[in-house]
Amino acid sequence: MIADETRRLVSLSEVKNILKKIEKERKELIYEQRISLEHAQKFAKLSVKQTKDLINDLLKLENLSDIHAYKIADILPTSEDDVKTIFAKERFTPSEDDIKNILKIVGKYYVK
């Protein structure tokens, strides 16, 4: 079992970098790692630094948890419906102002 202090959230762009590093060291990834790397390469749109900066900006908003900030940074929603979908199964539902602020912050880092 992994100790709690070694667990942390990672963004899709971090996953991509971690798996690329493993691939260089080992020359070959196991099946699950290879599939994960393909997914990360396809969907990680920002660099690790941009993603971290985005997450830090999102965490400045009230009522936004780490998990939500990471989900938003990985998905990069471009519409109010996209943001609402992220929170669809959550107890917390962001207000219209919160949604607009989230989209404004995401827009600073990612333009489709």
Q: Give pTM, 2 decimals.
A: 0.85
* Predicted local confidence at residue 4, as pLDDT: 55
List the CATH number of the domain containing 67: 1.10.150
* Predicted local confidence at residue 19, as pLDDT: 92
Tell me how far apart the alpha carbons of residues 109 and 87 are, in angstroms, rounded to a whole number: 21
In tens, the pLDDT along 5-46 reads: 678 889 999 999 999 998 888 888 889 999 999 999 999 999
CA distances in angstroms from 68 to 13, 65, 96, listed in the order given: 16, 5, 16
Same domain, 37 and 58: no
Whether residue 87 contacts residue 94, with contact meaning beta carbons closer than 8 Å, is answered with: yes
Residue 82 included in any domain: yes
Residue 3 included in any domain: no
Same domain, 23 and 73: no
Tell me how far apart the alpha carbons of residues 51 and 58 are, in angstroms, rounded to a whole number: 10
Same domain, 33 and 58: no
- In this prediction, residue 91 has a pLDDT band, given cuts at 50, 70 and 90, of confident
Q: Which domain holds residue 77?
A: 48-109
